[in-house]
Chain A
C-alpha cells in the first residue's frame, strides 16, 4: 500500500480525475473531501462490505422459495 503523509488542506490525486483532500484533522478523526467523476461510486468501507455480504447471502439462498401460507395476511397491492 502506498503511504503518503498529508496535512489539512493538502490533496492527493488518483488516476488523474479523482481528488482527495484532507479537510480537517481532529484527534483520531480525519475529514476527507473527494471529487470524482460521476462514474465513480464512493462508499464507507464498512457499509460497502455489509451490503456486499448481504448481496452474496441473497445470491446463495435456496433455488426455490417457499410459498406464502394461504392464511397469510394479504400484502399491500403492487
Chain B
C-alpha cells in the first residue's frame, strides 16, 4: 500500500528547503514525512499517548486518511473530516479547555474525528465526542460539549437502517 503524507501547510514550505523524515510503520512500511507537516500532540491522543503524528492518504478518492504515530510505529487511526458526513456537526469547547489549549478566540482549526472501522460500512462509527483539532502544527483531542456528540456515532446510518430492514 502506498501512503502519501498530507501537508497541512502550517508554514510556507516553498520558501525553505523541504526536509523529510523517514519512518518505518507497521501498517504502511517505510514512509517519507515532510517535517513541516508533522503534527505535535502535546498530550498525545487520549489513552494512546504519542506526541508526534502525521496524516497519510492511501486512497485519493477515500474520505478517510490515517493519523500515523511517529513515536509508536504500530499506532495509526483512520480519521475523517466530520463535516463531510454530518451536516450539523459542530465543536464546542468548555471555556477552560479552549483557554488551556490556546484555542479560544483563535483562527479555525482543521477538525478530524477518529473512525472505528469494521468489515461492513454499515458498522463504521466516528467519535464525535472527542474530535481532534489541528492548528499550526499542533493537535489536541478535545471533549466536544456540543449536543449530540457520541463516542460511537454511526457514519453510514442509511446503510445501517437498510441492513436492519433486510434482516
Residues of chain A at the chain B interface (Cβ within 8 Å) = 38-39, 41, 43, 47-59, 61-69, 73, 75-78
Please report the C-alpha to C-alpha distance between residue A34 and residue B140 in the assembled complex, in whole angstroms: 21
**Given A47-B143, A76-B84, CB of A58 within 8 Å of CB of B64:** no
User: Is the Cβ of A64 less than 8 Å from the Cβ of B1?
Assistant: yes
Min distance, Cβ A69 to any Cβ of chain B, angstroms: 8
Which A residues are in CB contact (< 8 Å) with B61? 67
Question: Mostly helix, strand, loop or mixed at chain A's interface?
Answer: loop
Nearest A residue to B99, CB-CB: A38
Comparing B13-21, B31-39, B42-50, the segment that makes contact with chain A is B42-50
Would you call B6 an interface residue if the criterion is a C-beta within 8 Å of the partner chain's C-beta atoms?
Answer: no
Would you call B70 an interface residue if the criterion is a C-beta within 8 Å of the partner chain's C-beta atoms?
Answer: no
User: Is the Cβ of B46 less than 8 Å from the Cβ of A62?
Assistant: no
User: Is the Cβ of A75 less than 8 Å from the Cβ of B118?
Assistant: no
User: Is the Cβ of B1 less than 8 Å from the Cβ of A55?
Assistant: no
